[in-house]
Structure 1
Amino acid sequence: MLRNSTSVLKKSLKLAQRQPFSTTFIRSTTIKSIPDANDDTATGKYITTVTKPYTVTTYARPNLVITHGKGSHLYDLENRQYLDFYSGIAVTCLGHSNPEITNIINDQAGKLMHCSNLFYNLPAGELANKLVDKTKQSGGLHDAQRVFLCNSGTEANEAALKFARKYGKTISPNKTEIITFENSFHGRSMGALSVTPNPKYQQPFAPLIPGVQVATPEDINSVANLISKEKTCAVIIEPVQGEGGVTPISAEFLLQLRKLCSDNDVLLIYDEIQCGLGRTGKLWAHSYLPKEAHPDIVTIAKALGNGFPIGATMITEKVENALQVGDHGTTYGGNPLGSRIGSYVVDTISDDKFLEDVQHKSDLFVAGLNKIAEKYPENIDTVKGKGLLLGLQFNSSLDSGKVVAKCRENGLLVITAGMNVLRIVPALNIPEDVIAEGLAIIDASISQVLAD
């Protein structure tokens, strides 16, 4: 079986290499149909013989095998080209196969990829310094001081939760409870999952970590009724809920939340794993806020590595003072290769001109999406989000999943979010002509779904 699988893989890769790349796939509103590959194709045979029999069940996936990408385009095993409006779930912020990042990987791989956290390394120290300095310069966490480097957003949130509990227990052994919010998403490990109050994710793995309570976004009384100076150690919230419907949290609510946390000596955690690093048009989503609304902890990942696995947890000195040697650690976190990439990403995204360009492209998207919403008033309620974390809120008459499938058939990769939202999270440097092409495909796809 393994020999046959390897043969299928080699034949499939040779097929992709033989066929020339298409550079004129979609222009203006010309739509070409790209149906998912059937089981008799190279793609179908690869999935059924090589992937599915040996891969743990996770997502429900279409018959599509991505082989390579460039900029804001992706290519499959049949060498068909797709526009990319999802960037690996808000990860490839500087586009696929970014040449500068490719050079960094090649250079650093020839020097040092790993040495563990038992020793210091140059790139990790530089990235930690850069995250703190650029954050302060950008109007973010005004008293940022320390950074824990790890490998993913889930790990960044796990660290944040552990740091918060350690802080709480320096005050009282009973100060361990955590408040989270409806429609939030913070990860899939047991700790992060415990503060992700979605039955679809939680029920198969219950019982989860105790001491978690759930409040309602934009309802400060719901938090006030749960928070306790004696028992609560932390509140965790996304300044823009991504998975939960592409919903920005108002500045007024976050100001109220910060005050409530301060009054009760409770740490405030902003999960900026999806909405951070330029996604909203500033370095951080909370950079729009006055310092009176800043958190104690910020969690970071996704865009930080442009596809290379890396995460970070940024904290204030107050949180650092609660930690002791041995309280937390990581083997791969802060490895030289990931840190070199992260430094380049932070330098690039924190540039004022780059962020201005993100906002300009956001304006193009919002204008186009509003036109689509106006065209289908009986099916689309509103355009949501901020920067290049945007969504079309469909009502019950239109299924976002069906629109995603039709977009894929028409050559555009886009994803859903909770609450029946079409989520758009492209590369931050997406070209303007690709924006126009993709919006035309969304428009056409909605029309086709409604006509079916």
Structure 2
Amino acid sequence: MSDTSMSQDAAQDPRSAGYAERYRAAMIPVFGTPQRVLVRGQGAKVWDDQGREYLDLLAGIAVNALGHAHPSLVAAMTKQAETLAHVSNFFATGPQIELAEKLLRLAQAPEGSGVFFANSGTEANEAAFKIARRTGRPRILALENSFHGRTMGALALTSKEAYRAPFAPLPGGVEWVPAGDVQALRSALADGDVAAVFAEPIQGEAGVLPLDPAYLLALRELTREHGALLILDEVQTGIGRTGRWFAHQAVPGVVPDVMTLAKGLGGGFPIGAAITFGPETTELLHAGQHGTTFGGNPLAAATSLAVLGTIEEEGLLAHVQATGEELAAAVLALGDPRVLGVRGAGLLRGIQLSEPVAPLVVRAALEAGFIINATGPYTLRLAPPLNIETEQLATFVAALPALLDAAVQAAAHEEEN
């Protein structure tokens, strides 16, 4: 069946009638009004309930590493679901153990390292938070502009006051230091009572802001010097997103004590992980001190193994590096004065605008058949599937000047009214 006929079938499906209204009536409105109701995906494309086609340049916010309905994921899910989907963590399963071993190899973790499986990035960061607490030291540092999740512990690490204030009091002992300021970091660590420093190699929700390699190295050296853990949140940057398995691997000498993962790890299936590096960190949590019902279930683990295996088999790390550089160069080559720069690495990119119209660009892009998002008034974020084709990205680059025109015009219209 062709894409056209399948999209027409989706539009005519009576079950899709009134989805938007039904959403408003049935859901707690924490996500606001949905932009569209999506019913099907294939590769880097998705279709809505009206049969309209979109190029997905966000991939579920860096989640759908292999795009939509990739054959290897479908096969892995189907095979495992027919065998064993869930057993609880009173028991072990082959996929769970194999995935842990695979992640430790990819992370180049030393002997005595370990993996805790969760269901999301925020849960992985909760586990890391508890590991930090087990050191017995009272203070935890995070970086300004950080985002680590929305559960109470992960939220306590997130710097944005607007996210935290409605839920105070949050777990205490967390302080923030300016990202990139080595002297501020050194001063904050000086008393020797810091348990851990949390950091994202690229601050995704803040606008795709990469940490300078020298600062990332200073984080490692200063935390080691003062006996604090370095906890790297690679929820958004891990699993090939930047063209390396994990973003910190671009900086020689940077090896964390704990690394958290999720998003691309399951390729769309919910799974997260906290990886400890070395026995001293692994042994901080003892039996009964943490747990989860669904974490590392065989269905999630088998799907993740398929994601990792496909990235290797299809040579996607090299593809992501090359394609990401081509994308950034093509955007800059437009010579549009409204584009000030392109940040990020691989296929996690932030396009910096000269005017505060990013949300309006997102709206115009959706109307034109592109899914992107804005991390603020001046920044567009792109995080497409790792296997997206250069030609597909080129269609967005070619459309960008017109999208900017539409956004500027819409902004002027809003001002007039």
Same fold (TM over 0.5): yes
Pair 1:142–1:402, CA change in 2 (3 A): farther
Partner of 1:262: 224
| Pairing partner for 1:45 from 13, 18, 33 | 18
| Pairing partner for 2:157 from 171, 195, 200 | 195
Cα deviation for residue 18 of structure 1 reads 6.3
Q: Is 2:75 the partner of 1:103? A: yes
Partner of 2:272: 311
**Structure 2 Cα separation of the partners of residues 418 and 298 of structure 1:** 27
Partner of 1:297: 258
Cα deviation for residue 360 of structure 1 reads 1.4
Cα pair 1:108 1:340 within 8 Å, conserved: yes
Question: Which one-letter code corresponds to 1:160 in the other structure?
Answer: A
**Structure 1 Cα separation of the partners of residues 249 and 97 of structure 2:** 24
Pair 1:18–1:96, CA change in 2 (3 A): closer
Cα deviation for residue 414 of structure 1 reads 0.3
| Pairing partner for 2:249 from 287, 290, 293 | 287
Cα pair 2:349 2:381 within 8 Å, conserved: yes
Aligned-residue Cα RMSD (Å) equals 2.1
Cα deviation for residue 321 of structure 1 reads 2.0
**Structure 2 Cα separation of the partners of residues 71 and 85 of structure 1:** 11
**Structure 2 Cα separation of the partners of residues 417 and 385 of structure 1:** 13
Cα pair 2:55 2:370 within 8 Å, conserved: yes
* Unmatched 5+ stretches in structure 2: 1-5, 411-417
Partner of 1:156: 124
**Structure 2 Cα separation of the partners of residues 442 and 296 of structure 1:** 41
Pair 1:249–1:44, CA change in 2 (3 A): farther
TM-score, structure 2 normalization: 0.92
**Structure 2 Cα separation of the partners of residues 63 and 256 of structure 1:** 42
* Unmatched 5+ stretches in structure 1: 1-13, 21-40, 170-174
Cα pair 1:42 1:77 within 8 Å, conserved: no
Q: Is 2:348 the partner of 1:380? A: no
Cα pair 1:153 1:187 within 8 Å, conserved: yes
Partner of 1:125: 97
**Structure 1 Cα separation of the partners of residues 11 and 167 of structure 2:** 45
Cα deviation for residue 16 of structure 1 reads 5.3
Cα deviation for residue 263 of structure 1 reads 1.4
Cα pair 2:142 2:198 within 8 Å, conserved: yes
Q: Is 2:60 the partner of 1:82? A: no
**Structure 1 Cα separation of the partners of residues 288 and 276 of structure 2:** 17
Task: Give CA-to-partner distance per residue, 1:268-318, whole Å, 9 cap, x none.
Answer: 000000011111111110111112x22101100000111100000110222
Q: Is 2:138 the partner of 1:176? A: yes
Aligned with 1:390: secondary structure? strand
Q: Is 2:57 the partner of 1:65? A: no
Task: Describe how 1:302-341 pairs up with structure 2 within 5 A.
Answer: 302-316=263-277, 317-341=279-303
Aligned with 1:47: secondary structure? helix
Question: Which one-letter code corresponds to 1:299 in the other structure?
Answer: T
Aligned with 1:430: secondary structure? coil
**Structure 2 Cα separation of the partners of residues 350 and 18 of structure 1:** 33
Cα deviation for residue 229 of structure 1 reads 4.9
Partner of 1:406: 364
Q: Is 2:331 the partner of 1:358? A: no
TM-score, structure 1 normalization: 0.85
Sequence identity (%) = 37
Task: Give CA-to-partner distance per residue, 1:305-359, whole Å, 9 cap, x none.
Answer: 1110000011022211222111111110010000001112122324593211111
Aligned with 1:280: secondary structure? coil
Q: Is 2:355 the partner of 1:393? A: no
Aligned with 1:226: secondary structure? helix
Pair 1:18–1:356, CA change in 2 (3 A): closer
Aligned with 2:387: secondary structure? coil
Question: Which one-letter code corresponds to 1:383 in the other structure?
Answer: V
| Pairing partner for 1:227 from 185, 189, 195 | 189
Pair 1:147–1:194, CA change in 2 (3 A): same
**Structure 2 Cα separation of the partners of residues 15 and 283 of structure 1:** 35
